[in-house]
Structure 1
Amino acid sequence: MTSRIVSVFGATGLQGAAVLNALLKDGTFTPRAIARNPESEAALKLKALGIEVVKGDSLDKTSLVSALRGSEAVFAVTAPIFPLKAEGEGPNELVQGKNMVDAAKEAGVKFFVFSSLPSIAKISGGKYTNCLHYEQKSVVEQYLKSSGLANASLHLGGFLENSWKFGLLKKTATGFDLAIPSFSTTDQQAFTWVERDVPAATLALLKNYTDPSTNVSGKSYPVINANISYAEFAARIGKAIGVEVAFTTAPPSGTPARDEMFAAHAEYSGLYTATPVPNPDLVALGVKFGTIDEFLESEIKPRFG
Structure 2
Amino acid sequence: MKPIIAVVTGTGAQGRSVSRAFHNSGIWRVRVLTRNPDGDVAQEMKKEGMEIVQANFEDRVSLVNAFTGSWAVYSVTIPPWHQSYTNKMEEYDQGVLQANAAKEANIQLLLFSTLPYVGADFMGLGGVELYDAKARTNDYITSISLPAVYLSTSVFVDIIHSWPTLMKTSSKIEFWDYVVEKEKQVVFLWVERDLGKSVLSIAESFRLSGKPLLEHPYNHTIQPLGSWRGTWGEIAREIEKQTGIETEHTVIADADERWNYELTKAFIYQNNHGLYPTVEFPPRTFIDLGVKFGTLEEFIRAKVVPMLRQS
Query: What is the TM-score normalised by the length of structure 1?
Result: 0.91
Match 2:89 to one of 81, 88, 91: 91
Whether contact under 8 Å (1:130, 1:257) holds in the other structure is no
1:256-296, CA deviations, whole angstroms, 9 ceiling, x for partnerless residues?
A: 21221111101112x11121011001111111111111111
How far did residue 182 of structure 1 move?
2.5
- Alignment map for 1:128-139 (pairs within 5 Å): 128-129=125-126, 131-139=128-136
Give 2:223's aligned amino acid. Y
| 2:151 corresponds to which of 135, 151, 154 | 154
Q: Does structure 2 conserve the Cα–Cα contact (< 8 Å) formed by 1:209 and 1:215?
A: no
The equivalent of 2:294 in structure 1 is: 290
Of 256, 263, 279, which aligns to 2:268? 263
- Whole-Å Cα distance in 1 between the matches of residues 107 and 123 of structure 2? 36
- Aligned pairs for 1:219-234 (under 5 A) are 219-234=221-236
- Note the C-alpha offset of 1:239: 0.5
| Aligned match of 2:167 | 170
Which ranges of structure 2 fall in alignment gaps of 5 or more residues?
A: none
The separation in 2 between residues aligned to 1:239 and 1:259, in whole angstroms, is 30
Which of 251, 254, 266 is 2:253 aligned to? 251
Quick one: which amino acid aligns to residue 304 of structure 1? L
SS in 2 for 1:253: coil
1:13 is matched with 12
Q: Indicate conservation of the 8 Å contact 1:169/1:178, yes or no.
A: yes
Q: Give the superposed CA RMSD.
A: 2.0
Classify the secondary structure of the residue corresponding to 2:280.
coil
Q: Secondary structure at the match of 1:177?
A: strand
Report matched runs for 1:22-101 at 5 Å: 22-82=21-81, 91-101=89-99
Counterpart of 2:206? Answer: 209
Give the whole-Å Cα distance in 2 for the aligned partners of 1:69 and 1:206: 18
Distance 1:91 1:29 in 2: 31
**Is residue 120–residue 128 contact of structure 1 (8 Å, CA) maintained in 2?**
no
TM-score of the aligned structures, taking structure 2 as reference length: 0.89
- Spell out, residue by residue over 1:173-212, the C-alpha distance to the aligned partner (whole angstroms, 9 max, x if none): 4321222232223212211000111101111011101425
Q: Paired residue for 1:117?
A: 115
1:231-267 deviation digits (Å, cap 9, x = unpaired): 1111011101221112222122334212211111011
**Identical aligned residues as a percent:** 28
Aligned match of 1:187:
184
Q: Give yes or no for contact 1:231–1:246 (8 Å, CA) kept in 2.
A: no
Shift of 1:219: 1.1
Of 104, 107, 118 in structure 2, the residue corresponding to residue 106 of structure 1 is 104
Q: Compare 225-234 and 177-186 and name the one that shifted more.
A: 177-186
In 1, the alpha carbon distance for the partners of 2:100 and 2:16 equals 23
In structure 2, what is the Cα distance between the partners aligned to 1:301 and 1:241?
Answer: 7
- Is the contact made by 2:161 and 2:303 (CA closer than 8 Å) also made in structure 1? no
CA distance in 2, matches of 1:229, 1:47: 37
CA distance in structure 2 between the aligned counterparts of 1:6 and 1:66, rounded to whole angstroms: 14
Counterpart AA for 1:288: K
Q: In structure 1, give the amino acid aligned to 2:116.
A: P
